Structure 1
Amino acid sequence: MSEPDTRSRSAITKERSNQLLQELHASTDETERRRLRDELVQLHLPLVEYLARRFKDRGEPLHDLVQVGTIGLIKSIDRFEPERGLEFSTYATPTILGEIKRYFRDSGWLIKVPRRAQELQTTLNSARSELSQKLGRAPTVTELAQHIEASEEEVLEALDAARAYSAAPLEVLTESGGGRSDHPLLATIDDGLDRVEQRAVLRPALDRLDPQEREVLMLRFVAGRTQTEIAALVGVSQMQVSRLVSRSLAKLRGELEVAAEEQSEGSA
């Protein structure tokens, strides 16, 4: 299938999804709601399968992971509010991933951390402390990679491994140049961060971003899409995606700093 055909099909699917979600949100008839929900599940099942494949090396059958992920999809369908202007796929992704990760936790499975990521964790901790003192702020992924002479992907992998055991600071979740990353900007919204006070601050900050800015961040840091993929999905150039991500992160950081100051003043 040619690229234009693929995009056309994607646009049709998106249009149909939006229509169904609007109808579901407006309907009060339970039979009709079940029909709409079933069609939405079938329409977005490829997203569940795509996300479930990230965990294919964990020793669980893909079919079981898809079943678990579908629970998250259904929850997302029921909770989605069309008027908020967020793309459904970016809204549903954290919930689907959360259900799958919860399944592994409840089953007693541990996240498998690559050896290289384990080796880098101690080095990264020292580098982050050293650079924070030197720069007067938290270092970016790029700065960390240059400091320890590792690739940005290796740094991201090590940071993700650390988040499997504890919540990592938001400051290092910054654009790293277009590689794929499984760590969510909302590791924060995902199950990796359970501290309610941080989640309560982040949600309003995200809501104050423009819909396109919010969508791009969700695609980049939650869905793990590359800049090229985001450009195709959103309908802008890759350069525009890069600028959007940088601008959106800067705005989000500003919102969080304001919230932190307000919280500090309130507790004083």
Structure 2
Amino acid sequence: MTSSALHDSTTARRSNRGSDSYDGIEPLLEQLAAMDAGDPARPRLREEVMRRCLPLADHIARRFTGRGETYDDLHQSASLGLVLAVDRYDPARGASFLAFAVPTVMGEVRRHFRDRTWALRVPRRVKETQLAIGPTVERLCHEYGRTPTALEIAVALDLDLVEVTQALLAGNAYRTNSLDAAADDEEGGGIAAQVSERLGETDPAYGICDDALAVAPLLRELSERDRLVLRLRFFENYTQAQIAAELGVSQMHISRILSRTLARLRQRALRD
């Protein structure tokens, strides 16, 4: 397409769309800048400028939809960026308001994604890298016809591979899932259970810990010989015959000691 044809096409689209309410807003902004801060007419003029420029916030908010945030939240951030753009715009510099406002508003929306939408605490540098990865991956997918590797993303962004890898992993911290949420029903047709109901089972070691805490003070009440027999049998894995040889008694005697001591511990533990 020639440049003239492109210009005619662009002009046609604009004419079909109609003029945006913020087209030609610079004269009002010049008038606003010339007013004293205490001028009673200034708030009304500022409000009029904001009202006319609100479609710009709407356009930019819609550009960022589909990334996990609601339109209302994005529009609120874009509107804040618009307020900053109106208050910071300097007509004396000669630039158009649109050229100044668009990056200002988009910067505020990106700051919303960076600072307010992460479920877990992530370093600011990693957040910024993670946000830059999205558009780069989309561009490389079109260019290569496949998903780019972390190395290709790092080269495209001129970043260290480790930094890109950290940002890719940090994407898992953007959203967290509730353990009370319903899990996917793989079999179909039934009511999906909560995620927490599918995450393993109670660790039996908790019961062992409770038992150990209950028995520990009772062991201190045993005689030295009974404690020695328990230690050799259950902590050093001696057989009854080996314990008998160690103490110079019969295996039957060791068996009676173990039975009597264990029964006593069990009775005391259950009673207490």
Look at both structures and tell me which one has the larger radius of gyration over its CA atoms: 2
TM-score under structure 2 length normalisation: 0.40
